[in-house]
Amino acid sequence: MTVVRRSRASNLLLYAAWLVSLIATMGSLYFSEIRGFIPCELCWYQRILMYPLVLILGVAVYRGDTRIKYYALPMSILGGSISLYHYMLQKIPGFAPLKPCVNGVPCNMEYINWFGFITIPFLALVAFILITSCLLFMKHRD
């Protein structure tokens, strides 16, 4: 059996990444299930990438496994890219596709707009950036 040695900083970064994913997941469920905001297509893609991170990072925290960064990083980077694209659809005029959404909620709709720039995709982007940063700075030693 291999013993994984980690520094205290790596422990805290792994825990922080898991905590951010948990808060982001609870926030998205709050907006959809309590506030009644119907997620658009891009919101669903972001959820598909965020929700498993809660479980994956949670197991890694429990087991003390910093090698999880190699599996979780692609998900957080892809999720952040989708969030950035979604945010740009909302905030940059002319960035929206020529063919608008015909089914469901349009992706450029803003359910919230706090301080003129904080929208739901922005919150997801911040969460993905924080998770990615924690994973990148986490050191793995065998």
Query: Largest Cα–Cα distance of the chain, in whole Å?
Result: 56
The values of phi and psi at residue 25, to 5°, are -65, -45
Please give the class, per CATH, of domain 8-137.
mainly alpha
DSSP 96: S
pTM, two decimals, is 0.88
Mind listing the pLDDT tens digit of every residue in the chain (142 residues)? 454 455 788 889 999 999 999 999 999 999 999 999 999 999 999 999 999 999 999 999 999 898 999 999 999 999 999 999 999 998 887 776 655 555 678 777 888 888 988 999 999 999 999 999 999 998 865 4
For residue 141, which phi and psi values (nearest 5 degrees)?
A: -125, 135
Rg for the chain, CA atoms, rounded: 17
